[in-house]
């Protein structure tokens, strides 16, 4: 006879077996047994003492994990403090207006106004963003790994705002000024620690750059600071500060306070362009972000009310192009795939993180507004470097793109070569050192490209405005790395860094109709905009 196992011997997990004899196979009927394990578990977990023990265990494990994390952070901080030394980068005399200024933090009335602000001048805020290093200067970092340093675009973002308000009585103008840091997450870290913490890793010795990137990631969860120092834009009655290595931060325009980061209702949590574009007629916001790993470039379309990401497309690129700006027309997104690239592997070869690959290819993509990655029409063009577009539009079957081609070294700093027997004062940049206005005409039917390089050619749009450089003033300090000395639009007032000029756009070459003297100088910034009072939400 066959013995039958009972639950008391092996527990409820033992299943009925097939009963076999030499010639007959019989299946015993299924036996229903009580689930002793489940009953025991239910009894234990419902016990109040067990619940209390479970809560205490969870708390202790959390405290232990936190203690380990804190200990690791303390050890990493101690290693960095003992191994790395921060020092200030010095400025030449002609670069003095790159030096940071103090934060005011509140609106201050301006009384020194020469001339008259016109009655039909719009009420609103002229606001600029730019680099303003938090601890007095850009930094160099020395260690046993070598030296690394910040480049000229890496200071923390500071907003400068000039408010134009018309009083109800007498129709007179009131002008006030404020400046304030953009309080990104990394800004708050360094402000609270009262010292620079992020190690420079954009330029320098390869071992130092690699060590910096690893330690920044271990300590703060990111390789770079979130500077938010490049641009300001308005959408759906909200104002944002942005740099393309981070998401935007919403700004209270009345006091320049930082309200929150903007991820488009949780749908966009990745790098965000410094130059989003409003699509003609629809009012939608075309955005994009580039990254050092695939997908290298992502295009998005935000609804007119700013509440929804209508479209998000990962493009099929083979490299990370430093894409500072794309264009829009009524129907298309215009993508500039140029050989100014960001490549982390270059650090291992001792090359710059950002570099212009002179022997590489270039192309321009025309993408339907709501197209996918396969819908992009690519046009091969001569290799170029461009940061800013003038305009894009459709004309018959062509897409016309106008922008300024610039030297490939513009990001890391233009370097002028000279021989040992040359006098620095005689060495000037050649024609290749200057931006050139270009026009590309892309025939969507024939796929042909026509290029016009003539700044005197007639333009479909009547005017184009560009910021220019005082080259000789920049070179006075000697040759080497040149930081462009920015002036203004067309008419330069290079020694009036604390003045704002109101110019009649119909008489652009004439004297300013009003000169406003600020309480302090404003460093050379990157981008600004005028926001009429009736287009932004009051907080």
Q: Is residue 363 over pLDDT 90?
A: yes
pLDDT over 70 at 3, yes or no:
no
Question: Given pLDDT bands bounded at 50, 70 and 90, which one contains residue 400?
Answer: very high
Query: Residue 449 pLDDT more than 50?
Result: yes
- Classify residue 457 by its DSSP letter: S
- Residue 49 CB neighbours (<10 A): 8
Neighbour-count burial for 334-369, b at 16+ CB within 10 Å, e otherwise: bbbbbbbbbbeebbeeeebbbbbbeeeebbbbbbeb
Residues in the chain, overall count? 539
To the nearest 10 degrees (0 to 180), the angle between helices 206-220 and 48-83 is: 150
d(CA 31, CA 399): 79
Mean pLDDT of 462-467: 56
Evaluate if residue 19 carries a pLDDT over 50.
Answer: no
Please state, in angstroms and as integers, the Cα–Cα distance from residue 394 to each residue in 56, 171, 437, 460, following that order. Answer: 67, 43, 19, 11
Whole-number pLDDT of residue 422:
43
Q: What is the pLDDT of residue 470?
A: 45
Mean pLDDT calculated for residue range 80-91: 92
Is 139 one of the annotated binding-site residues? no
Percent of the chain, pLDDT > 90? 45
Predicted TM-score of the model (pTM): 0.78
Tokens 């994009």 belong to which residue? 288
The CA distance from 270 to 291, in Å, is 8
Distance of CA 257 to the CA centre of its chain: 19
**Residue listed under structure tokens 């953009």:** 182
Q: Mean per-residue pLDDT for 383-403?
A: 90
Q: pLDDT at residue 81 above 50?
A: yes
> How many Å is the maximal CA-CA distance in the chain?
117
Average pLDDT value for residue range 458-468: 50
The verdict on whether residue 527 carries a ligand-binding annotation is no
Region 103-126: mean pLDDT is 90
Report the pLDDT averaged over residues 296-309.
Answer: 95
Most confident of 15-29, 30-44, 382-396: 382-396
Return d(Cα 312, Cα 439) in angstroms, integer.
29
The three-state DSSP-derived secondary structure of 91-159 is CCHHHHHHCCCCCCCCCEEECCEEECCCCCCCCEEEEEEEECCCCCCCEEEEECCEEEECCCCCCCEEE
Mean pLDDT over residues 271-296, rounded?
92
Percent of the chain with pLDDT over 70: 73
Q: Which band of pLDDT confidence, cut at 50, 70 and 90, is reported for residue 465?
A: low
Position with higher pLDDT, 462 vs 506: 506
* pLDDT value of position 503: 84
CB under 8 A, 24+ apart: contacts of 410-414:
410/385, 411/151, 411/153, 411/322, 411/340, 411/354, 412/151, 412/202, 412/203, 412/352, 412/354, 412/355, 413/151, 413/152, 413/481, 413/482, 413/483, 414/481, 414/482, 414/484
Task: Check the annotation: does 275 bind a ligand.
Answer: yes
pLDDT tens, position by position, 204-230: 898 999 999 999 999 998 888 899 999
């Amino acid at each position: 006879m066959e013995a039958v196992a009972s639950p008391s011997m092996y527990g409820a997990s033992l299943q009925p077996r097939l009963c076999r004899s030499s010639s007959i196979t019989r299946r015993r009927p299924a036996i229903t047994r009580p689930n002793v394990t489940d009953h025991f578990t239910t009894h234990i977990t419902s016990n109040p003492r067990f619940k209390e023990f479970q809560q205490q265990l969870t708390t202790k494990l959390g405290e232990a994990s936190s203690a380990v994390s804190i200990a690791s952070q303390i050890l990493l901080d101690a290693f960095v403090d003992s191994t790395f030394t921060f020092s200030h980068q010095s400025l030449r005399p002609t670069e003095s207006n790159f030096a940071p200024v103090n934060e005011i933090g509140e609106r201050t009335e301006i009384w020194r106004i020469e001339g008259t602000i016109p009655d039909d001048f719009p009420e609103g805020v002229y606001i600029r963003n730019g680099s303003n290093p938090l601890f007095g200067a850009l930094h160099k970092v020395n260690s046993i790994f070598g030296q690394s340093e910040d480049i000229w675009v890496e200071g923390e973002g500071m907003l400068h705002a000039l408010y134009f308000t018309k009083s109800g009585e007498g129709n007179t103008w009131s002008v006030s000024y404020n400046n304030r840091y953009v309080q990104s997450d990394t800004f708050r870290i360094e402000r609270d620690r009262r010292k620079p913490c992020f190690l420079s890793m954009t330029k320098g010795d390869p071992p130092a750059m690699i060590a910096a990137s690893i330690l920044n990631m271990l300590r703060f969860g990111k390789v770079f600071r979130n500077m938010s120092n490049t641009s300001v834009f308005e959408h759906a009655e909200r104002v944002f500060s942005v740099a393309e290595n981070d998401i935007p931060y919403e700004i209270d325009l009345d006091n320049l306070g930082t309200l929150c980061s903007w991820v488009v209702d949780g749908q966009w949590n990745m790098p965000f362009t410094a130059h989003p574009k409003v699509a003609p007629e629809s009012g939608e916001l075309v955005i994009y972000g580039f990254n050092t790993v695939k997908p290298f470039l992502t295009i998005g379309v935000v609804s007119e009310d700013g509440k929804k990401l209508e479209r998000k497309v990962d493009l099929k690129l083979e490299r990370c192009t430093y894409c500072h700006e794309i264009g829009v027309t009524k129907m298309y997104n215009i993508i500039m795939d140029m050989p100014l690239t960001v490549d982390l592997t270059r650090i291992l070869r001792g090359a710059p993180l950002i570099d212009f690959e002179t022997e590489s290819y270039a192309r321009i993509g025309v993408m339907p507004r709501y197209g996918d990655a396969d819908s992009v029409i690519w046009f091969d063009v001569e290799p170029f470097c461009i940061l800013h577009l003038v305009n894009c539009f459709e004309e018959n079957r062509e897409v016309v793109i106008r922008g300024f081609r610039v030297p490939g070294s513009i990001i890391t700093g233009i370097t002028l070569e000279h021989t040992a027997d040359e006098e620095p004062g005689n060495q000037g940049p050649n024609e290749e050192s200057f931006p050139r206005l270009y026009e590309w005409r892309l025939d969507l039917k024939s796929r042909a490209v026509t290029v016009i390089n003539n700044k005197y050619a007639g333009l479909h749009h009547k005017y184009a405005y560009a910021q220019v450089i005082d080259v000789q003033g920049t070179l006075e300090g000697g040759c080497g790395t040149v930081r462009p000395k920015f002036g203004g639009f067309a008419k330069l007032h290079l020694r009036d860094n604390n003045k704002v000029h109101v110019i009649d756009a119909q008489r652009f070459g004439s004297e300013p109709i009003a000169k406003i003297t600020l309480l302090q100088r404003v460093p050379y910034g990157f981008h600004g905009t005028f926001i009429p009072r009736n287009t932004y939400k009051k907080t």
